[in-house]
Amino acid sequence: MHLIIGLGNIGDRYQLTRHNVGFLVIDEITKNLTTSNINKTNFQADVFKSGYNLFAKPKTYMNHSGDSIVCIKEYYKIDINNIIVIHDDLDLPFGTVKFKIGGGHGGHNGLRSIDSHIGKDYIRVRIGIGKPENKADVANYVLSNFSKEELNKLEGIISHTIKAIESLKNEDIVEVKSKFTLK
């Protein structure tokens, strides 16, 4: 069983923000699947099951994503190697898609929370959102909406990311990196 998690913040206010790119991928990937909703209060997440896959959008807000993920992981006894986390990455130019296992959190509070709850050795799907010119504007930047131009490009980026996630379930990460990395 794979647990595929999109990181983001709940609420209409955050729906199209850069920090919610993980939620946008989960919404798109589950749109055409036959899913069943799993309603367990302690999960603190929207969880959908389709076949042998679980898709999750934590409701804990970004900074506490690990609280949700650890509950789902432990309940279903999911090996860390079968956890895929989709998240925004300030250190990558907009539209870049990269993959890795483990590593640091790079100041990303959602990853910091996950790392503290389940360790670092899960698969990461990093989607570049670019960064503001002034480092002091990071919080406002990640919580701001994508521009119209970015939204137009995002559809293709999300579609590409979904294909990569499907491959991650069956292929070695090295193969997926060589086939699906976007720069």
pLDDT tens digits, residue range 135-168? Answer: 889 999 999 999 999 999 999 999 999 999 999 9
pLDDT at 136: 87
pTM: 0.96
SS3 annotation, 63-125: HHHHHHHHHHHHHHCCCHHHEEEEEEECCCCCCCEEEEECCCCCCCHHHHHHHHHHCCCCEEE
Separation CA 63–CA 67 (nearest Å): 9
Residue keyed to tokens 């991928």 = 25
Name every residue whose Cβ is closer than 8 Å to that of residue 60 and which is 6 or more positions away in sequence: 44, 45, 67, 68
Distances (CA, A) of 154 to 27, 47, 50, 105, 161: 13, 24, 24, 23, 10
pLDDT at 106: 87
C-alpha atoms less than 13 angstroms from C-alpha of 142 in its C-beta half-sphere: 25
Separation CA 20–CA 61 (nearest Å): 10
- The strand pair at 97-101 and 123-128 is best described as antiparallel
The residues annotated with a catalytic role in the active site are: 19
Separation CA 176–CA 178 (nearest Å): 5
pLDDT averaged per 10 residues, the chain (length 183): 97 96 97 91 95 96 96 97 97 96 92 97 97 91 96 96 95 95 93
pLDDT at 112: 96
pLDDT at 39: 87
Residue ranges of domains in the chain, CATH in brackets:
2-180 (3.40.50.1470)
Residue type, 104: G
pLDDT at 82: 97
Separation CA 20–CA 83 (nearest Å): 19
Name the region of 36 (left: φ>0; alpha: ψ -120 to 50; beta: rest): beta
